[in-house]
Amino acid sequence: NDLSYAFFSMNSIDAWKSRWVESKHKSDYGKFVHTAGKFYGDVERNKGLQTSQDARFYSASSRFESVSNKDQALVIQFTVKHEQNIDCGGGYIKLFPADLNQEEMHGDSAYNIMFGPDICGPGTKKVHVIFNYKGKNHLINKDIRCKDDEYTHLYTLIVNPGNTYEVKIDNKKVESGSLEEDFDFLPPKKIKDPDAEKPDDWDEKENIDDPEDKKPDDWDVAENIPDPDAKKPDDWDDEMDGEWEPPMVTNPDYKGEWKPKQIDNPAYKGKWVHPEIDNPEYTADPEIYQYASMGVIGLDLWQVKSGTIFDNFLITNDPKLAEEVGNETWGATKDPEKKMKDSLEEEERKKRDAEEVNIKEEDEDKEERDEEEYYDEEEEEGETDSKLKDEL
């Protein structure tokens, strides 16, 4: 079961219909359609599976020969295109064990790995990297930002023997590290010694008040004093206005609260560090990366606004091969795709400008007609007045 090469291109509708199974677990799953979308680099090569109904769950999967990644790299790669300018929805894949019942696949079906972009509003724009380890799903402890534009992007996850991983977007590394350090698969190696306590005489104060520093006798003065330049108004009536009091002003001699100067604490021992011991519950596992059975790749996700296109699914043990496939698929069509989108947007802009000109001309014509009608009515009223005068 050497994992060498499993490529799922959606270029033809026959490949989609023959290789993919839509789940029947629920009757209201959203439907996938086979299309290259509104804009593309190559109308045939860019055809993929597109979500087509808003506010739906989607569930479809494709089976490949059951394999294990023991003692070899595992590479998962695919392309995602949110051409609908997605506001909330998933763009990730799930890798399942070979014993998955595809027609009963659903959100709670046990999977090995979940990987790919997830967007929901301005606050959530992340790349999910989730591994199932001993029956529990573990999320990465790092925040990896996904692409949130409308173009096609290539997502790659590489899992290596030795428990390391790497995440790439558009064939460029965006994150990497240790599975043990960046996920909570295992208990910590070290824990605080439960028998250790900070000594009562341990002094953590770096500085103390100078015991020989004394407050000056003339220090204590009021913060505010009556304005010495203020004078009682000539028209002030004590009986009517009450006893006159001068306004208060800031005392120029006020020095604030007195505090003794600080000196080094001769008893300072530094910050007490709780000693650690080996965690008796920790046991190293060199095979965290490994899955004994992988045989199904699936799309199990929710989308508020549909329109995402998935394509170029690749499962391999060769990171270099994955990079080459990425360049031959996504890399070969990304520039023409952008060019076509720019062209469509330019056509839309010209169309809007033309419509605005037409509306402006129609408004001007209407104003001219209204003005002519107004003068015609004025002329008729003038003739009527003239006849009335003649009759009178």
What residue numbers does the annotated binding site for an alpha-D-glucoside cover?
A: 92, 94, 111, 118, 300
Spell out the residues 6+ positions from residue 271 whose beta carbon is closer than 8 angstroms to its own.
Answer: 204
Q: Cα(213)–Cα(153) distance, rounded to whole angstroms? A: 68
Two structure tokens written together for 212: 């020989």
Two structure tokens written together for 324: 């080459």
Q: Cα(277)–Cα(272) distance, rounded to whole angstroms? A: 16
Report which secondary-structure segment, H or E, holds 355.
helix 330-391
Which amino acid is located at 22 in the chain? Answer: E
Give, to the nearest 10 degrees, the angle between helix 319-328 and helix 330-391: 40
Q: Cα(253)–Cα(266) distance, rounded to whole angstroms? A: 35
Of the candidates 129, 132, 101, 92, the one whose C-alpha atom is nearest the C-alpha of residue 292 is: 132
Which amino acid is located at 331 in the chain? Answer: G
- Reduced to 3 states (helix: H, G, I; strand: E, B; else coil), residue 131 is strand
**23 close to 59: Cβ distance less than 8 angstroms:** yes
Of the candidates 116, 56, 80, the one whose C-alpha atom is nearest the C-alpha of residue 304 is: 56
φ, ψ of residue 316 in degrees (nearest 5): -155, 170
**75 close to 37: Cβ distance less than 8 angstroms:** no
| Residues in the annotated binding site | 92, 94, 111, 118, 300
